[in-house]
Amino acid sequence: MEPQDDPDDRQPARSGKSRKKPRVVRKMTEPRLANIALHYLERYSSSAENLRRVLQRRVYKSLRAHPDLDEPTTRGWIDTLIERYLEVGLLDDQAYAQTRTRSMLDRGEAPRSIAMKLAQKGINADGAKEALSQLEQDFPEPELQAALTVTRKKRLGPYRDPEMREEKRDRDLAALARSGFSYDTAKKMIDAEDVPELEAMFEELLNGAVD
């Protein structure tokens, strides 16, 4: 587990308010970097590139505080750790992409938004495409399922007070568009006749999913 820095010491300031002392940045070592990496992977799933960025940020802080620390050497430590974790399976970009894709779908993320967020986490275009292709095999219409989730959560369209539906229609359509859904999908949600119609659609989609 990653060693924790000591708590901030506090001293009374002249104004009577407490003042933080600067946090001491410890000099990075290869064993400590490995501890940081393992601690992160214990708490979070990660792609190889995302873990690389996490470690680079930690090393950068240490490099600034310790000018005698050799940057090429620390870069080699990171490369070695990433390679080792990929070999033993602690890092698996495709498994990570598929897990993240399903998780984001459950939260109501549109496929377009999912692809963007996978890219932000260091998943390349081919990896994202494969994860989304698998999603389409496992779920009949992932975009509709995600749009239904958002519509229910935000109480848009048929979930609104009937007296407010028409007045809020354009705003509701825009809300789904901002979430990454196509106009046709947004229109299908917002212009649905009533809640039972959408709920029946949602159940049908869930029942059609492949376990």
pLDDT digits (tens, 9 = 90+) for 43-93: 999 999 999 999 999 999 999 999 999 999 999 999 999 999 999 999 999
Same domain, 82 and 35: yes
DSSP of the chain:
-PPPPPPPPEEE-TTSSEEEPPPPPPPP-HHHHHHHHHHHHHH----HHHHHHHHHHHHHHHHHH-TTS-HHHHHHHHHHHHHHHHHHTS--HHHHHHHHHHHHHHTT--HHHHHHHHHHTT--HHHHHHHHHHHHHHSS-HHHHHHHHHHHHHT-GGGS-GGGHHHHHHHHHHHHHHTT--HHHHHHHHT-S-HHHHHHHHHHHHHTS--
Residue 6 lies in a domain: no
CATH of the domain at 99: 1.10.10
Same domain, 165 and 199: yes
* Number of independent structural domains in the chain: 3
User: Does residue 19 carry a pLDDT above 90?
Assistant: no
Same domain, 168 and 193: yes
Q: Two tokens at 66? A: 């310790």
Same domain, 106 and 120: yes
Residue 106 lies in a domain: yes
Range of the domain at 109: 93-138
Residue 14 lies in a domain: no
* Confidence at residue 20, expressed as pLDDT on a 0 to 100 scale: 67
pTM, entire model: 0.77
Same domain, 80 and 106: no
Residue 1 lies in a domain: no
User: Does residue 148 carry a pLDDT above 50?
Assistant: yes
Q: Average pLDDT of the chain?
A: 87
